[in-house]
């Protein structure tokens, strides 16, 4: 690893092949200094990020690639969406979307390593794929990035160039819990037993679920990501002190990042481990909680498309749904409000006309109740979804469709 200046890096980037593929830290760990320099020096490049946030390079000559579309790339005319389960993205890097450059956002060096800090995810696989084909790996070493353990630790000899920066990390604003989110969250929380293992995402419903677990004990965390709600559980002594918290990326407050720094209770792992359904299935009482945009009477969920256009992607939901269903005592929840206020339509529909992201969940959870799905016939599933999850104003209409489908 060679520590260089930004001026030195300019000459290195100027020597890249035509239209290189740049894989960069995604989610909320964007390596802004490196990307801004690439935007200045490299005429054309393919920018590959997961859940990219606003502020990334955007001009003619920059093409976007993503298997999980964030707000920075959503509805963009130069976006190439790559359908993939998150656990399979390392295979794509190895065989199909090989990176020429990997741009990392890391901690300062510690002994002979740096840490990927809050964002591990697919980056170790991207580093390996780049090095296997003579690509280069560049790190922006940020004094504000916490040093985390596990697969987050990257040896100096895996990095070609390091640039030192001092820039604030993105922090998560407080979540505003609506009455609907609180109702859904409390209903799901009532199904979670002591000594369960949790997978949660970002948003009001996961935060509401965690707020409803104050009376539990011995909870464990095996998740793609977590935020401040998990720190609250730790402070309250609700987590199993003997089991490491396992995650692939973190987004939250500065307090959360300070807690992560050099915390050996937290193990940050690469995606193909955290999202491996066989590993998920080994966790005790695995509880998977994911969100959908709409669900039909056949328990098929759309969590990726709006009006036929890609909104996000599979993400980790498909991996965790399968893993939770195979876990002894595991449960998979698909959560959504029963009514979309902005569009003024029911989110429980007769049959999906949009893309199917996942199917076969343990439960469908709305503010109206919890519909029991797995282990029931398709007729019983449909009745349960109508009676327990759908908005009361559309239940008669849904029953009519169910009769037309032969479900009632």
Q: What is the pLDDT along the chain (408 residues), one digit of tens a residue?
A: 999 999 999 999 999 999 999 999 999 999 999 999 999 999 999 999 999 999 999 999 999 999 999 999 999 999 999 999 999 999 999 999 999 999 999 999 999 999 999 999 999 999 999 999 999 999 999 999 999 999 999 999 999 999 999 999 999 998 888 999 999 999 999 999 999 999 987 788 999 999 999 999 999 999 999 999 999 999 999 999 999 999 999 999 999 999 999 999 999 999 999 999 999 999 999 999 999 999 999 999 999 999 889 999 988 899 999 999 999 999 999 999 999 988 899 999 999 998 999 999 999 999 999 999 999 999 999 999 999 999 999 999 999 999 999 998
Q: Which two tokens stand for residue 61?
A: 């000559």
Q: Which residues are CB-contacts of 98 (< 8 A; sequence separation ≥ 6)? A: 21, 129, 130, 132, 133, 135
Helix residue ranges, H only, 173-261: 179-189, 204-211, 228-235, 254-260
Q: Please give the model's pTM, rounded to 2 decimal places.
A: 0.94
Active-site residues, by number, are 224
CA distance 108 to 336: 41
- What is the pLDDT, as a whole number, of residue 314? 86
User: To 5 degrees, how large is the angle CA 267–CA 191–CA 240?
Assistant: 30
- What is the pLDDT, as a whole number, of residue 308? 86
Contact 387, 395 (CB under 8 A): yes
What φ, ψ does residue 270 adopt, rounded to 5°? -70, 155
**Rg from Cα positions in the chain:** 22
- Report the CATH number of the 179-404 domain: 3.40.1080.20
- Report the CATH number of the 2-165 domain: 3.40.1080.10
Helix (H, G, I), strand (E, B) or coil at 301: strand
Q: How far is CA 108 from CA 5, 47, 120, 180, in A?
A: 15, 25, 15, 43
Residue extents of the structural domains in the chain? 2-165, 179-404
Is the fold of 2-165 the same as that of 179-404?
yes
Burial 311-335 (b: 16+ CB within 10 A, else e): bbbbbbbbbbbbbbbebeebbbbbb
Q: What is the DSSP letter of 170?
A: P
Backbone angle region of 315, left / alpha / beta, with phi > 0 → left and psi within -120 to 50 → alpha? left
């Amino acid at each position: 690893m060679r520590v260089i200046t930004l001026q030195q890096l300019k000459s290195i980037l100027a020597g890249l092949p035509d239209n290189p593929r740049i894989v960069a830290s995604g989610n909320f760990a964007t390596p802004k200094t490196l990307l801004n320099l690439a935007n200045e020096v490299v005429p054309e490049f393919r920018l590959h990020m997961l859940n990219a946030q606003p502020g990334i390079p955007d001009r003619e000559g920059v093409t976007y690639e993503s298997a999980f579309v964030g707000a920075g790339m959503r509805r963009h005319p130069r976006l190439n969406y790559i359908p993939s389960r998150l656990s399979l993205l390392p295979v794509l890097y190895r065989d199909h979307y090989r990176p020429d450059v990997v741009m990392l956002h890391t901690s300062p060096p510690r002994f002979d390593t740096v840490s990927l800090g809050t964002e591990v995810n697919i980056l170790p696989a991207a580093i390996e794929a780049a090095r296997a084909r003579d690509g280069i790996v560049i790190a922006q070493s940020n004094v504000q990035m916490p040093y985390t353990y596990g697969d987050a630790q990257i040896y100096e000899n895996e990095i070609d160039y390091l640039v030192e920066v001092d820039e604030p990390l993105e922090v998560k604003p407080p979540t505003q819990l609506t009455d609907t989110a609180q109702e859904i969250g409390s209903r799901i929380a009532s199904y979670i037993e002591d000594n369960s293992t949790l997978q949660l995402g970002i948003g009001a419903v996961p935060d509401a679920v965690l707020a409803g677990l104050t009376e539990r004990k011995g909870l464990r965390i095996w998740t793609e990501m977590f935020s401040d709600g998990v720190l609250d559980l730790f402070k309250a002594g609700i987590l199993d002190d003997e089991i490491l918290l396992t995650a692939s990326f973190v987004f939250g407050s500065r307090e959360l990042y300070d807690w992560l720094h050099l915390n050996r209770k937290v193990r940050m792992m690469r995606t193909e481990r955290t999202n491996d359904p066989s590993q998920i299935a080994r966790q005790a009482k695995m509880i998977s909680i994911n969100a959908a945009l709409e669900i039909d009477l056949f328990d098929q969920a759309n969590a990726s498309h709006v009006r036929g256009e890609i909104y996000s992607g599979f993400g980790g939901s498909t991996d965790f749904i399968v893993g939770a269903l195979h876990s002894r005592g595991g449960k998979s929840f698909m959560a959504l409000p029963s009514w979309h206020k902005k569009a003024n339509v029911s989110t429980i529909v007769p049959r999906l006309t949009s893309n199917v992201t996942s199917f076969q969940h343990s439960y469908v959870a709305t503010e109206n109740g919890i519909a029991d799905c797995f282990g029931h016939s398709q007729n019983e599933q449909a009745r349960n979804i109508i009676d327990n999850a759908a908005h009361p104003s559309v239940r008669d209409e849904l029953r009519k469709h169910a009769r037309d489908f032969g479900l009632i």
